[in-house]
Amino acid sequence: MRLREIIEKIKPAFSKGGKLGMFSSTFEAFESFIFVPNTVAKNKGSHIHDSIDLKRTMSIVIMALMPALIFGMWNTGYQHFLSVGEEVSFIDTFFYGFVKVLPLIIVSYVTGLAIEFASAQIRGHEVNEGYLVTGMIIPLIMPVDVPLWILALSVIFAVVIGKEIFGGTGMNIWNPALLSRAFVFFAYPSKISGDKIWIAGLENAQNAADGFSGATPLSYAAANEIDKLPDTLDMFIGIIPGSIGETSTIAILLGASILIFTGIASWKIMVSTVAGALFTGLLVNMLGGSPYLEMPAWQHLIMGGFAFGAVFMATDPVTSAQTETGKWLYGFLIGVVVIIIRLFNPGFPEGMMMAILLMNTFAPLIDHCVVQSNIKKRMKRKLIL
């Protein structure tokens, strides 16, 4: 109870009118981070209470991201030592990746939380917890060698332009993590596309092994070199070059099971995204025309960022569709658009980012249509009676 006592002791200084009253929302953020707030909803109307709140929700998503993060660290090291042709122990491999990935996470959190705290103080709001997850996802969807200042800029762009100007957590139209990736993609394309940047140290390496290529499965596929694709099992486990957290389908599935079991992310969106991708993929398979178009549709699910996007980003409760029918439609359309961008747009080998951002934009429209059609259906029923 000592911590509780310390908090109670310094609390008056931070409350309204106290010496440090201007930092009240910062204090509140740390207090409720440690202890569940003891305020109760006013005795007005009926409330259904649940022990889960925004902070616990975010913590569970962070836990669900852990398998992908830990695998990503190991894979970063593994791909690096593969590129220089060295054999090292498991611990060294993991440690190399850990050292490479940790700065990205720190920069992402420090920049993002600084903006969150500052804007909460300026507006006199409570600090929003939304950034806890965004700050973890951003490093996971970046190439490991992305310069830290570019990462910081993209975080500033995503949090200020993507979230704060709409009113903070819960008000944003687009997924902030994807917005930060889109920023890097358009502002500094040489740092997030091509064959050289997915593996740590490959870009300016003199010691790369002979004939080693850092191309991701998707860039092989986009170049129609289907025979060069890695082994299916490798792609499923994730021993392939790519953004830090996106490569391992199996680690992502582990995270997905946590999210679905706790009921935090919508399984409907995950299932319908996969269904949409498979549907479009099979349709294209039937048409055929080039090796990439004839590649089995299910292989799309284990390449690139599809699994990560479908599990962690399409299901973002703020930016996805809210109605149950809407969720099916929203997820399905994401799947459809991903495959269309991957197969038919020569400029973008990966379509997951664009597809989710596009459907984020349309999610309110989908909800509107679902609600209106429901109203119409009920009106009709009323007339018959």
Partner 1 sequence: MSSNNGLKIFTTPFNSGNPITVLVLGICSALAVTVKLQPAFVMAISVTVVTGFSNLIISFLRNTIPNSIRIIVQLLVIATLVILVNEVLKAYVYDVSKQLSVYVGLIITNCILMGRLEAFALGNRPIPSFVDGIANGMGYGIILIIVAFFRELLGSGTLFGIRIIPESWYVANGGFYLDNGLIILPPMALIMLGCIIWIHRSVNQDLQEK
User: Could you say which of 152, 161, 260, 275 contacts partner 1 (CB under 8 A)?
Assistant: 161
196 binds partner 1 (CB under 8 A): no
Length of the chain as a residue count: 385
Q: Between residues 67 and 162, which has the closer beta carbon with respect to partner 1?
A: 162
Nearer to partner 1, 105 or 161 (CB): 161
CB of 79 to partner 1, least distance (A): 22
Residue 150 in contact with partner 1, rule: CB under 8 A? yes
Instruction: Give the Å distances, CA to CA, from 186 to 32, 192, 207, 337.
Output: 38, 9, 30, 19
Q: Shortest CA distance to 254 belongs to which of 198, 308, 209?
A: 308
- Single out the segment in contact with partner 1 by CB under 8 A; choices: 107-115, 182-190, 270-278, 358-366: 182-190
DSSP string, 277-327: HHHHHHHHHHH--SHHHHS-TTHHHHSTTHHHIIIIITT-TTTS--SHHHH
**Angle, CA of 107, 110 and 114, to the nearest 5°:** 140
Q: Which stretch binds partner 1 (CB under 8 A): 144-152, 275-283, 284-292, 304-312?
A: 144-152
Residue 312 in contact with partner 1, rule: CB under 8 A: no
Residue whose CB is less far from partner 1, 182 or 284: 182
> Minimum distance from CB of 366 to partner 1 (Å)?
24
Is residue 103 part of the contact set for partner 1 (CB under 8 A)? no
Considering only 23, 98, 188, 279, the residue that binds partner 1 (CB under 8 A) is 188
Evaluate the CA torsion angle 9, 11, 13, 18 in order and state its sign: negative
Report how far residue 197's alpha carbon sits from residue 200's, in angstroms, rounded to the nearest whole number.
7
In this chain, which of 27, 131, 174, 183 binds partner 1, going by CB under 8 A?
183
Regarding 189 and contact with partner 1 (CB under 8 A), the answer is yes
Asked whether the beta carbons of 329 and 322 are under 8 A apart, the reply is: no
Q: Does 347 bind partner 1 (CB under 8 A)?
A: no
Q: Nearer Cβ to partner 1, position 88 or 161?
A: 161
CA distance 93 to 177: 27
What is the chain's Cα-based Rg? 23
Binding-site size for partner 1 (CB under 8 A) equals: 12
- Kindly tell me which residue out of 163, 191, 196, 327 binds partner 1, with binding defined by CB under 8 A: 191
Rounded to an integer, what distance in angstroms lies between the CA atom of residue 94 and that of residue 77? Answer: 6
Amino acid 272 reads S
| 382 touches partner 1 (CB under 8 A) | no
Q: Establish if 147 lies at the interface with partner 1 (CB under 8 A).
A: yes
Distance, CA of 123 to CA of 349 (rounded, Å): 41
Where along the sequence are the contacts to partner 1 (CB under 8 A)? Answer: 147, 149-150, 161, 165, 183, 186-191
